[in-house]
Amino acid sequence: MGVLRALNVAPTQIHRNTWVSIKDFRLLCDVLCLHPTPSSFLSYYTSHPAQPVSWNSLIGRSGSFLLNSFTVCYTRFKERFVKVIIRLEATTFFLEGNGQSRFPLYWTSQPRDFKEWLRLTGSANDIEILSLFDALPR
C-alpha cells in the first residue's frame, strides 16, 4: 500500500514485473526480520511511467540495484482490467478508519516520476535496511 501511495498509482497501474520486485523485497526483509518500508524499497529503483501516462514500471538503479530484474514479457497486459468490489468485511484492507483510501483505487493521470528516491528523509528503520542491503555483495 505504501509503494502505491508513494507512486500515486492504483494497483492495476503497476507493471507486473514491478509487483514481483515488491514481493521479493518484502520476502527478503521478512527473512532478515526487518520491517520493509516504501522508502527503503524505492531507494533501489527509478520510476519509468509510460507515455502517455497510464502505467508505471520500476527499474533497478544502475550500480545500486538490489535484486536482478524479473523480465518476463506479459504481452497485452495493459488491455486487461480487473473490477474489484469491496465487501463490507474487507474495507479495512482498502480504507483507513476515517474512510480515506489507503492507496489510489482508480487509475491516476499523474504517477510519481523519480530518478532517485531521496535517502536523506528516511526513518531509523529505513537507514537500518539500507545499511544492511547496501553492504550485501552484488
pLDDT 10s digits, 58-70: 877 776 666 666 5
- Whether residue 129 contacts residue 36, with contact meaning beta carbons closer than 8 Å, is answered with yes
In our burial notation (b when 16+ CB lie closer than 10 A, e otherwise), range 77-101 reads: eeeeeeeeeeeeeeeeeeeeeeeee
H/E run at residue 60: strand 56-60
- Higher pLDDT pick, 95 / 27: 27
Say yes or no to pLDDT of 77 above 90.
no
Q: Could you tell me the sign of the dihedral formed by the alpha carbons of 133, 44, 25, 128, in that order?
A: positive
- Per the prediction, the chain carries an average pLDDT of 79
- Higher pLDDT pick, 85 / 34: 34
pLDDT 10s digits, 12-54: 888 778 888 889 899 999 999 999 998 889 888 888 766 666 6
Candidate ranges 47-51, 83-87, 102-106, 114-118; pick with highest mean pLDDT: 102-106
Please give the share of the chain, as a percent, with pLDDT higher than 90.
Answer: 7
DSSP 8-state symbol, 64: T
Query: What pTM, to 2 d.p., does this model score?
Result: 0.73
